[in-house]
């Protein structure tokens, strides 16, 4: 019998007899522990004595086997190297992300279905004060952050109302009945967190509108910062050569790529520069001066330009009175 067939047959076998695998003179004894009706937990003991289990050696968790789909989940690296032929399911991190996306989508359905409900109006009115504080102190920062990272990437973040931790029982429930688990969990969250859910949906709508307004501009410091991030994102560069055009002066220096990849800054620090470059920068622009994305006209790595831009000229935009976004229920 081929090794891969032996392993597959052992997984499918309802008995709990162990399976021994010898790798580099080390015996690995695997056992199956039933979990619910549809799962086996796999544990492994290592030793160099016999081909059987031995006292004095602990069994350690190795993987989870789902009898329904025949896949192995949450397997450790050693298990994967020992049984490369094992059919594995998505990683837990991927499953967790899928679950979060599905729950968010279902909750959005609940919001849409209840928009005209008078009780929903009362619930949401409780969050008006919090929403006004958010617009005053945080909205602009979040618009800029999502503009830089992309609204599509915001789906990776758990909403503030979704504080449910992914547990072992959640994993098993989901693997047994994915649709049922999503529905039950979404209904549970909706029944307890309606106000927070509605508030979150309104905040995301405000952020999306703000990002769309920024996208209408052809050039801005934020556009340039985003272009720099994109240019360096897939680069292997650790140190880059930067040319800036600042206060009518052009200056070239070296700095770390990591400094230019920080999303939370509007200005870059001179600290990562070599001492000589930093001192020259200070003599040109002042001891406490920094430089901004719009100052950068070229970023090069090993003689190849990764990013290039014309000297920045602020757009002359008509001043408009900005009205606070209104709530529509």
What whole-number distance in Å separates Cα of residue 113 and Cα of residue 279? 62
What's residue 317's pLDDT?
A: 40
In a domain, 325, yes or no: no
Q: Same domain, yes or no, for 206 and 237? A: no
pLDDT tens-place values along the chain, 329 residues long = 455 677 788 888 877 788 878 777 778 888 888 899 999 999 988 777 767 777 768 888 888 999 998 888 888 888 888 887 777 888 887 888 888 888 888 888 888 887 666 565 666 676 778 888 899 999 999 999 999 987 665 555 555 555 567 788 888 999 999 999 999 999 998 888 887 787 887 888 899 999 999 999 989 999 999 999 999 988 899 999 999 999 999 999 999 999 999 887 789 999 999 999 999 999 999 999 999 999 999 999 999 999 999 999 876 444 444 444 444 43
Q: Same domain, yes or no, for 198 and 105? A: yes
What whole-number distance in Å separates Cα of residue 21 and Cα of residue 79? 11
In a domain, 327, yes or no: no
What's residue 328's pLDDT?
A: 40
Contacts of 7 (CB under 8 A, 6+ apart): 19, 83, 85, 86
In a domain, 132, yes or no: yes
Pairing outcome for strands 39-47 and 249-256:
unpaired
The last residue of one of the domains, among 82, 104, 126, is 82
Cα R_g (the chain), whole angstroms: 28
Q: Same domain, yes or no, for 170 and 55? A: no
Q: Same domain, yes or no, for 169 and 257? A: no
What whole-number distance in Å separates Cα of residue 294 and Cα of residue 272? 19
Task: Please count the structural domains in the chain.
Answer: 3
Task: Encode pLDDT of 99-144 as tens digits.
Answer: 888 888 888 888 888 766 656 566 667 677 888 889 999 999 999 9
The last residue of one of the domains, among 82, 107, 128, is 82
pTM of the model: 0.63
Task: Encode pLDDT of 191-218 as tens digits.
Answer: 888 877 878 878 888 999 999 999 999 8
Structure tokens at 24: 């580099």
Q: Same domain, yes or no, for 234 and 264? A: yes
Q: Same domain, yes or no, for 227 and 270? A: yes
Q: Same domain, yes or no, for 232 and 168? A: no
Please give the residue range of the domain that contains residue 201: 92-215
Q: Same domain, yes or no, for 116 and 15? A: no
User: What is the SS3 assignment for 297?
Assistant: strand
What's residue 113's pLDDT?
A: 80
E strand intervals along 176-319: 239-246, 249-256, 296-301, 304-308
What's residue 18's pLDDT?
A: 86
Angle at 22 between CA 16 and CA 26, to 5 degrees: 110
In a domain, 237, yes or no: yes
Report the DSSP beta bridge partners of residue 300: 241, 305
User: DSSP letters along 71-138, please?
Assistant: EEES--HHHHHH-TTS-B---HHHHHHHHHHHHHHHHHHHHHHTTT-HHHHHHHHTTHHHHHHHHHHT
Q: Same domain, yes or no, for 236 and 257? A: yes
In a domain, 282, yes or no: yes
In a domain, 321, yes or no: no
Q: Same domain, yes or no, for 124 and 197? A: yes
Residues in the chain: 329
Q: How many helices (H) and strands (E) does the chain have?
A: 12, 9
Q: Same domain, yes or no, for 129 and 153? A: yes
In a domain, 292, yes or no: yes
What whole-number distance in Å separates Cα of residue 258 and Cα of residue 34? 48
Q: Same domain, yes or no, for 207 and 103? A: yes
What's residue 95's pLDDT?
A: 85
In a domain, 99, yes or no: yes
| Widest distance between CA atoms in the chain | 83
What whole-number distance in Å separates Cα of residue 150 and Cα of residue 141? 14
What whole-number distance in Å separates Cα of residue 95 and Cα of residue 295? 43
The last residue of one of the domains, among 186, 215, 244, is 215
């Amino acid at each position: 019998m081929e090794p891969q067939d032996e392993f597959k047959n052992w997984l499918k076998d309802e008995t709990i007899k162990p399976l021994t695998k010898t790798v580099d003179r080390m015996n690995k004894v695997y056992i199956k522990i039933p979990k619910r009706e549809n799962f086996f937990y796999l544990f492994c003991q290592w030793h160099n004595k016999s081909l059987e289990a031995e006292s004095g050696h602990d069994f350690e968790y190795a993987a989870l086997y789902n009898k329904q789909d025949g896949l192995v989940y949450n397997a450790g690296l050693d298990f994967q190297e020992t049984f490369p032929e094992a059919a594995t399911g998505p990683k837990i991190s991927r499953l967790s992300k899928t679950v979060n996306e599905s729950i968010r989508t279902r909750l959005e359905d609940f919001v849409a279905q209840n928009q005209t409900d008078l009780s929903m109006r009362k619930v949401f009115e409780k969050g008006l004060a919090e929403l006004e504080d958010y617009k005053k102190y945080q909205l602009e920062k979040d618009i800029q952050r999502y503009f830089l990272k992309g609204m599509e990437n915001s789906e990776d973040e758990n909403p503030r109302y979704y504080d449910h931790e992914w547990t072992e029982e959640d994993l098993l429930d989901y693997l047994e009945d994915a649709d049922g688990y999503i529905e039950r969990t979404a209904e549970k969250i909706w029944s307890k967190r309606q106000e927070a859910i509605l508030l979150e949906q309104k905040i995301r709508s405000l952020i999306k509108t703000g990002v769309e307004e920024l996208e209408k501009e052809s050039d801005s410091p934020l556009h340039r910062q985003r272009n720099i991030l994109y240019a360096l994102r897939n680069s292997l560069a650790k140190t880059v050569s930067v040319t800036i055009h600042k206060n009518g002066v052009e200056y070239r220096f070296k700095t770390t790529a990591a400094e230019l990849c920080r999303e939370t800054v509007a200005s870059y620090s001179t600290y990562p520069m070599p001492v000589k470059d930093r001192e020259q920068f200070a003599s040109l622009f002042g001891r406490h001066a920094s430089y901004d994305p719009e100052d950068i006209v070229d970023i090069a790595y090993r003689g190849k330009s990764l990013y290039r831009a014309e000297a920045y000229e602020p757009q002359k935009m008509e001043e408009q009175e900005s009205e606070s976004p209104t709530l529509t229920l």
